[in-house]
């Protein structure tokens, strides 16, 4: 029968998930000893889940945010602690679990068997309460190291794929995403479009107000573009003051209206900066698959067509949307 101590506030782990480092799963079939373990661990500020057999312990470990610290009795009905250790280590996915095995066995070969099964540490019964506390604390330190490494890994992965100024996908990442969407389009025949956007007269903003204000403008333009597309669209910084949006599954006429909405999101409200409000506009070029371009892949053709449409928008007065020639008829109302 499961029992748990009062819920305490937990730290957040990698990815904003609740941390399970401060949680302990206790599997012990003796009700008095199980209660004693839970009481001690709760007193030491751990969040405790206590069960009386190995199968219930295994099921508890399959739940979201299950404890990473596991205290197992060797002898339990159904599935003993050693078999449970083997099952835990046989599942390589997810976070590492630190396993402390409790046993009344004192023979060296028994202890070796428990460690070989996957236990990280062991205590022989009867044991001192302070020794249990020290060993659980050692396990927690190892899990905290794992948590720190995962946080660092996630931060590095984010930095590798995102532009440091705007937080958008960087050029390499947005092009990788486009390549993936092109492959999906070729496999399924789904609609695929791209939008290139460029901040009009951005050099003039930099020259007039300085680069810090220019950076603030780029950050806000990026934020407004992201807020104006659908959750499953992608927006990246293509380079300098130029942005690339990938819009899958959107009919041409809806794409045109959506691009106009992107332009209005920037034009309609001045951007607040340290130098005061700055008014700016963007020009946009649209292209959709399939698009003909002799000698080029569909990936290259889309980018070239959107870039040419963007050039036309600039040449025709800026602050406007132009559609690549291959998509004009489909986009017409």
Helix (H) or strand (E) holding 155: helix 129-161
Q: How confident is the model at residue 224 (pLDDT cuts 50, 70, 90)?
A: very high
Q: What is the pLDDT of residues 60-117, one digit of tens each?
A: 999 988 999 999 998 888 888 899 999 999 887 778 999 999 988 777 888 888 889 9
My answer on whether 233 and 257 are in the same domain is yes
Q: Which of 159, 186, 205 is the last residue of a domain?
A: 159
Q: What is the pLDDT of residues 140-198, one digit of tens each?
A: 999 999 999 989 999 999 999 999 999 999 999 999 999 999 999 999 999 999 999 99
**DSSP letters spanning 178-238:** HHHHHHHHHHH---EEEEEEEETTHHHHHHHH-HHHHHHHHHHHHHHHHHHS-TT-EEEEE
Residue 180 tokens, joined: 């993936």
Cis peptide bond N-terminal to 290, omega within 30: yes
Is residue 241 flagged as an active site residue? yes
My answer on whether 132 and 279 are in the same domain is no
My answer on whether 179 and 320 are in the same domain is yes
Residue 22: which of 173, 185, 139 has the closest Cα?
A: 139
- How far apart (Å, rounded) are the C-alpha atoms in residues 278 and 219? 13
Q: Which residue has the tokens 């909405």?
A: 261
What is the residue range of 120's domain? 3-159
Instruction: Provide the domain count of the chain.
Output: 2
**Phi, psi angle pair for 231, to nearest 5°:** -60, -30
- How far apart (Å, rounded) are the C-alpha atoms in residues 205 and 199? 10
My answer on whether 20 and 97 are in the same domain is yes
CATH number assigned to the domain comprising residue 126: 3.40.50.2300
Q: Which residue has the tokens 């890994």?
A: 153
Q: What is the DSSP letter of 71?
A: E
- How far apart (Å, rounded) are the C-alpha atoms in residues 325 and 179? 22
My answer on whether 138 and 215 are in the same domain is no
Q: Which of 110, 133, 159 is the last residue of a domain?
A: 159
Q: What is the pLDDT of residues 1-38, one digit of tens each?
A: 333 333 333 444 544 444 567 899 999 999 999 999 99
Helix (H) or strand (E) holding 131: helix 129-161
Residue 321: which of 303, 309, 307 has the closest Cα?
A: 309
State whether residue 295 is helix, strand or coil: coil
- Other beta carbons within 10 angstroms of residue 320's beta carbon come to 18
Strand partners, 4: 49
Annotated catalytic residue, options 220, 241, 242, 322: 241
Evaluate whether 261 touches 219 at the Cβ level (below 8 Å). Answer: no
pTM of the predicted model over 0.85:
no
Q: How confident is the model at residue 49 (pLDDT cuts 50, 70, 90)?
A: very high
166 within some domain = no
User: Which ranges constitute the DSSP H helices of 229-267?
Assistant: 252-267
Nearest-10 crossing angle of helices 171-188, 129-161: 80
């Amino acid at each position: 029968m499961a029992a748990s101590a009062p819920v305490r506030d937990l730290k957040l782990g990698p990815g904003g998930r609740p941390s399970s480092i401060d949680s302990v799963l206790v599997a012990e079939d003796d009700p008095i000893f199980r209660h004693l373990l839970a009481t001690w661990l709760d007193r030491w500020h751990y969040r405790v889940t206590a069960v009386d057999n190995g199968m219930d312990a295994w099921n508890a470990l399959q739940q979201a945010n299950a404890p990473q610290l596991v205290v197992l009795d060797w002898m339990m009905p159904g599935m003993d602690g050693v078999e449970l250790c083997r099952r835990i280590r046989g599942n390589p996915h997810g976070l590492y679990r630190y396993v402390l095995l409790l046993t009344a066995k004192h023979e060296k070969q028994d202890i070796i068997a428990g460690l070989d099964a996957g236990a990280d540490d062991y205590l022989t019964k009867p044991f001192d309460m302070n020794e249990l506390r020290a060993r659980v604390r050692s396990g927690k330190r190892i899990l905290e190291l794992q948590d720190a490494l995962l946080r660092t890994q996630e931060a590095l992965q984010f930095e590798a794929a995102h532009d440091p100024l705007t937080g958008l996908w960087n050029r390499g990442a947005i092009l990788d995403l486009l390549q993936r969407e092109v492959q999906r389009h070729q496999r399924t025949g789904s609609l695929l479009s791209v939008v290139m956007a460029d901040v009009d007269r951005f050099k003039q903003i930099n020259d007039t107000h300085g680069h810090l204000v220019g950076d603030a403008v780029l950050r806000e333009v990026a934020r407004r573009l992201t807020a104006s597309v659908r959750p499953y669209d992608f927006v990246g910084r293509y380079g300098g003051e130029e942005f690339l949006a990938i819009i899958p599954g959107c009919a041409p006429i809806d794409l045109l209206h959506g691009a106009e909405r992107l332009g209005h999101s920037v034009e309609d409200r001045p951007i607040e900066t340290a130098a005061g409000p700055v008014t700016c506009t963007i020009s946009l070029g649209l292209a959709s698959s399939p698009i003909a371009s002799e000698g080029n892949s569909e990936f290259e053709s889309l980018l070239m067509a959107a870039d040419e449409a963007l050039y036309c928008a600039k040449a025709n007065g800026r602050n406007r949307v132009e559609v690549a020639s291959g998509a004009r008829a489909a986009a017409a109302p």
